[in-house]
Amino acid sequence: MDARGDETGQPGGYAAVDVGYPEPGRARAALVVAQAPDFGGELAEYVACVTGVSPYSPGEFYRRELPPLRAVLASAGPFRLIVVDGYVDLDPGGRPGLGAHVHAELGVPVIGVAKSLFRAATHAVPVLRGRSVRPLYVTAAGLPLPEAVALLRRMAGPYRLPEALRRVDALSRGTPPRRQPGMR
């Protein structure tokens, strides 16, 4: 697969996902889908609300996140690439994080973009965007890590967090996302 564009003729869009928890036992999953890997231009947005969500359990974050993500990802697809808010793998030995579970379940490349450093994730590549001095931490499954880093750098938006991830974060919280100039 070539995640840089549609020249392979493979169907599907590029997805960014996030999950928020408005109250105990409930989750609100958000999905932004674009036709280009930079998430520029027209974006489709989806939200799914799920009840019966398990409480957070250290080291098993994916158990809480996967059911809401399954629900929102069923709204659209197929996908060529999914960007998750979090890690693909949690350490250099490959201990699976949320992104690894999404990759295993859906069989598409996944880029993990974390906003804070997980101490054991010494393999994650720090990436600076915009004028920020705080890096994002990138991991990947199904595509080479240097390609994942390059895709993150090219993603639309002038700030540390790419616009697609800002939008899914706002949608998952239930707040209207602020659109950036030039975004439709």
- Answer whether 110's CB lies under 8 Å from 99's CB: yes
pLDDT one-digit tens code per residue, 57-112: 766 777 888 999 999 999 887 999 999 999 999 999 999 999 999 999 999 999 99
What is the reported pLDDT for 59? 67
Topology (CATH) of 13-173? archaeoglobus fulgidus dsm 4304 fold (3.30.2170)
Where is pLDDT greater, at 76 or 146?
146
pTM, two decimal places: 0.87
Alpha-carbon gap, residue 180 to 147, rounded angstroms: 25
How many C-alpha atoms does 132 have within 13 Å on its Cβ side?
16
Quickly state the pLDDT bin for 176 (edges 50, 70, 90): low
**Burial track 1-19 (b if 16+ CB lie within 10 A, e otherwise):** eebeeeeeeeeebbbbbbb
Q: What are the structural domain ranges in the chain?
A: 13-173
Q: For residue 152, give the nearest of 118, 121, 111, 180 by alpha carbon.
A: 111
pLDDT of 3 over the 80 cut: no
Quickly state the pLDDT bin for 180 (edges 50, 70, 90): very low
CA distances from 30 to 22, 47, 75, 99 (A): 13, 5, 10, 15
